[in-house]
Amino acid sequence: MVQTDTLQYQCKGVIYYFLSTLLLALTFFCYIIGSTILPVMDVMGWLFFVLSCLSHAAIIMLLPLAGYALLARLRQPWVAGVWFVTSVSLLLVLTMLNLQVYQLYRFHINGIILNMVFGSGASEIFNFDAAVLAKEGGILLLFVVAALGLWRLVPTLVRHTSRGKLWSMAAFLMLSILASNVIHVYGAFFQKPSVMKSRALLPYYFPLTATSALRDLGYQAPVNPIADMPSSTDIIYPLHPLKVKDSKRPNIIFIFIDSWNKRTLTPETMPNVYRVATESQWYDNHFSSSNGTRYSIFGLFFSVPCFYWNSFESSHISPLFIDEMIRQGYNFSIHGSANLVNPPFSRVVFQRVPKLQVNTPGATTYDRDQRITHDFISALPRLKQQGKPFFSFLFYDLAHSYEYPKSLPKRFKPSWDYADYTRLNNDMDPTPYFNLYRNCCWLIDKMIGEVIEQLKKEGLYDHSVIVISGDHAQEFNENKKNYWGHGANFTKWQIGVPLLYRIPGEKPRKISYRTTHYDLVPTLMHDWLGVTNPIEDYSIGHLLTDKRPRRWQMVGSDIEYAFIIGGDTIVNKEGDGAMDVTDSRLNPVTNYRINPREFNAAIQQVNRFFKK
């Protein structure tokens, strides 16, 4: 009798395992719906993706099955059932949450996301309205109900399922695992886009590769020139000690807006900043060094590419720009709305700044933006009286958080009250969402207007170098590829930002040739701090006045980065090493061939701060 009950529980477990695997596989399949990789999918790609959904789900569901089998063997059937249903429910919920993260950011839930959500200052990064949480809760509850419903269905199926059918189910899943891995071995070796791109959709899916073995057998793989960048921490930065002569030592003021879409720089949306633009060198074809805050600010201050971050951080290398201002006796006034701990700018970019304030008080983003405005304005008389040049950095966050105060009227309508990311899709009208963003930019503009007014009152406006820009851009589906926000691609709508460069005595003009964040520090070092070294000693940028094309601009992070070639072609190195080539609007470029000479020169250029 005991043996019969044990076999019955085992049969129930296997059937529920098979049903939950199918449900999880279906959830995985949803990852490709509406995906931008659909145009490259072929028969092999679809076969691989379907089998991968099944095999990945089957492997993931083995842990809940093992726990159930153990508890059933210990004669704890009720506990075993609760364990199995709870585990399946949690996996389904996590898979759906990951799907939403992937649709928004184009990468899966990982340590960075978890650190942002649960790390220091998380409330300053993510702000979710109660309505969004309620909607999410309803969606996730449906998955829990589905998991329970399948469990209730199992007893009926047990009565109609023979042992032979159970073996057939197991064999089917095993064949799916085997076939998907065989296809991936082939697709990875020959760089089949449909296989490589669809594989990346599945979270933490690592099918087999056999590149070395196939090469040993004499097969020749196509050459992928986007190789992994060096991971050495042996750095030569700068290449030669800085030499300084005739420094002008002006006040230098950086005013930056997190996630700034250039379409808001209009007299209607941002009248104060627009007025500054008409009085400045307005670089209208300017690009960031990344599509995310961490690496864009890193590239801005260090004037080197993203993949140096880990080496510079571990070696405690400080930006030469800040080091030189310290040596020349500058005072510092650093004001970040979001904290400077996460990302860790306090220990990387501003590590040598004395008395650095890493957190700004305030219950909301708007409160903190107001506070940094007040703090800077309050500090101006003291900075002026001390008789030393000063460097100030104000970093506004409201355009990133969309946390528009409910108590304030909205200037632009129709407008959402909050950012409901679950409503974003390729066919929706972006106007209400964009108007919410415009309203946030309008509030930032008012605060920047207060800063400019106080600079004028203190007599500093016409005697300071003032830079206004964004760390990176913010996309509102301008390319019609269902991309929203940032961190997902390297088109101008995620890395293109305005650069306003107001310098004493210079006639204002609008400049259309391409410039980058890498150009700002060498310009300031050369023109104002008296550094006479060749720019190549400490930067991959140019002077802002240099009209030469910025070919082979490197953007991104240490894991996924791209070369933007000539402003039109985006050669993207994905996290798994595959190469993806698109035009400036993310349309695939087929049969693209990199110029080996130009590529080698570009690699040598960006790698020159690593010891050979």
**Quick one: tokens of 80?**
């075993």
Give pLDDT, residue 573.
76
Structure confidence at residue 73 as a pLDDT band (50, 70, 90): confident
Gyration radius of the chain over CA positions? 28
* Residue 267: inside a domain: yes
Q: What is the dihedral of CA 331, 333, 339, 340, to 10 degrees?
A: -30
CA pair distance 474, 35, nearest whole angstrom: 20
Question: Which of 511, 527, 551 is a domain's end point?
Answer: 551
- Burial 303-339, CB ≥16 within 10 A → b, else e: bbbbbbbebbeeeebbbbbbebbbeeebbbbbbbbbb
Higher pLDDT, 33 or 392: 392
CA distance 196 to 107: 15
Residue with more model confidence, 201 or 224: 201
| Residue 597 covered by a domain | no
Looking at residue 244, what DSSP letter applies?
Answer: B
Same-domain status, 177 and 281: no
Lowest mean pLDDT among 187-191, 342-346, 376-380: 187-191
Q: pTM of the predicted model, to two decimals?
A: 0.77
CA torsion through residues 579, 29, 172, 75, sign:
positive
Mean residue pLDDT across the chain:
88
Provide the 8-state DSSP code for 32: G
- pLDDT tens digits for range 460-471: 999 999 999 999
Strand boundaries in 58-160, DSSP class E = none
At residue 597, the 3 state secondary structure works out as helix
Q: What is the pLDDT of residue 372?
A: 98
Enumerate residues 6+ apart whose C-beta is below 8 A from 534.
none
Q: How confident is the model at residue 175 (pLDDT cuts 50, 70, 90)?
A: very high
Contact 343, 313 (CB under 8 A): no
User: For 229-238, 252-261, 353-362, which range has the lowest pLDDT when averaged over its residues?
Assistant: 229-238
Phi-psi region of 256 (alpha: psi -120 to 50; beta: other; left: phi over 0): beta
| From 348-362, 393-407, 474-488, 549-563, the region with the lowest mean pLDDT | 549-563
Q: Give the lowest-confidence range in 80-94, 290-304, 393-407, 519-533.
A: 80-94
Task: For residue 292, count CB atoms less than 10 angstroms from its CB and return exposed for 0-12, middle for 13-18, buried for 19 or more.
Answer: buried
How many domains does the chain contain in total? Answer: 2
Same domain, 188 and 60: yes
Asked if residue 30 is part of any domain, the answer here is yes
| Residue 249: exposure state from Cβ atoms within 10 A (0-12, 13-18, ≥19) | middle
Q: Are residues 303 and 434 in the same domain?
A: yes
Residues of the domain holding 170: 2-216
Cis peptide before 414 (omega within 30 of 0): yes
As a whole number of angstroms, the distance between CA 295 and CA 307 comes to 9
Question: Which of residues 215 and 245 earns the better pLDDT score?
Answer: 245
pLDDT, position 426: 94
The H-or-E segment that residue 187 falls in is helix 163-189
Strand partners, 474: none
Residues 177-197, mean pLDDT to the nearest whole number: 87
Percent of the chain with pLDDT over 90: 61
Is the confidence at residue 130, as pLDDT, over 90? no
State whether 278 and 161 are in the same domain. no
Res 227: pLDDT: 44
* Residue 225 in this model has a pLDDT that exceeds 50: no
Q: What token pair was written down for 305? A: 């590419």
Residues 197, 305 within the same domain: no
Asked if pLDDT for residue 574 goes beyond 80, the answer is no
Which residue pairs from 542-545 have beta carbons closer than 8 angstroms and sit at least 24 positions apart in sequence?
A: 542/515, 542/518, 543/519, 544/281, 544/283, 544/501, 544/515, 544/519, 544/520
In a domain, 388, yes or no: yes
pLDDT band at 125 (very low <50, low <70, confident <90, very high): low
pLDDT band at 10 (very low <50, low <70, confident <90, very high): confident
The angle, 0 to 180 degrees and rounded to 10, between the axes of the packed helices 193-201 and 43-60 is 30
Considering the domain architecture, whether residues 499 and 390 belong to the same structural domain is answered as: yes
pLDDT band at 312 (very low <50, low <70, confident <90, very high): confident
> What is the DSSP track for 401-450?
H----TTSPPSSSS--SS--GGG--TTS--HHHHHHHHHHHHHHHHHHHH
Domain boundary among 532, 551, 570: 551
Sequence-distant (≥ 6) Cβ neighbours of residue 71 within 8 angstroms: 77, 79, 80, 83
573 domain residue, yes or no: no
CB 469 within 8 A of CB 500: yes
Given pLDDT bands bounded at 50, 70 and 90, which one contains residue 567?
A: confident
Give the three-state DSSP class for 267.
coil
Is residue 199 domain-shared with residue 295, that is, in the same domain? no
Per the domain annotation, does 354 fall within a domain? Answer: yes
The 10s digit of each residue's pLDDT in 468-526 is: 999 999 999 999 999 999 999 999 999 999 999 999 989 999 999 999 999 999 999 99
pLDDT band for 123, please (50, 70, 90 cuts): low
Contact of 92 with 147, CB cutoff 8 Å? yes
**What is the 3-state secondary structure of 381-409?**
HHHHHCCCCEEEEEEECHHHHCCCCCCCC
Question: Do 168 and 276 belong together in one domain?
Answer: no
Q: Rounded to 5 degrees, what angle do the CA atoms 424, 430, 432 make?
A: 105
Same domain, yes or no: 191 and 313: no
3-class secondary-structure state, position 492? helix
Q: What is the pLDDT of residue 164?
A: 82
| Contact predicate 561/307, CB 8 Å | yes
Pairwise CA distance, residues 453 & 177, whole Å: 66
Highest mean pLDDT among 164-168, 495-499, 591-595: 495-499
Please indicate whether residue 598 or residue 397 has the higher confidence score (pLDDT).
Answer: 397
pLDDT tops 90 at residue 325: yes
Question: Which pLDDT does position 3 carry in this prediction?
Answer: 47
pLDDT score for 361: 96
Kindly state whether residues 260 and 209 are assigned to the same domain.
Answer: no
Residues 429 and 541 in one domain: yes
Give just the sign of the alpha carbon dihedral 520, 521, 522, 525.
positive
Q: For residue 485, give the H/E element and its range.
A: strand 484-485
**Mean pLDDT lowest among 468-472, 515-519, 529-533, 571-575:** 571-575
* Boundary-marking domain end, from 495, 524, 551: 551
Give the range among 64-73, 121-130, 244-253, 355-364 with minimum mean pLDDT.
121-130
Whether residue 501 is contained in a domain is answered as yes
Q: Do 178 and 116 sit in the same domain of this protein? A: yes
CA distances from 327 to 324, 349, 391, 529 (A): 5, 16, 13, 11
- Domain assignment present for 117: yes
376 is written with which tokens?
Answer: 């800077």
pLDDT of 230 over the 50 cut: no
| CATH code where residue 547 lies | 3.40.720.10
Query: In this structure, are residues 479 and 491 in contact, taking their beta carbons and an 8 Å threshold?
Result: yes
Amino acid at 518: Y
Q: How many CB atoms lie within 10 A of CB 414?
A: 11
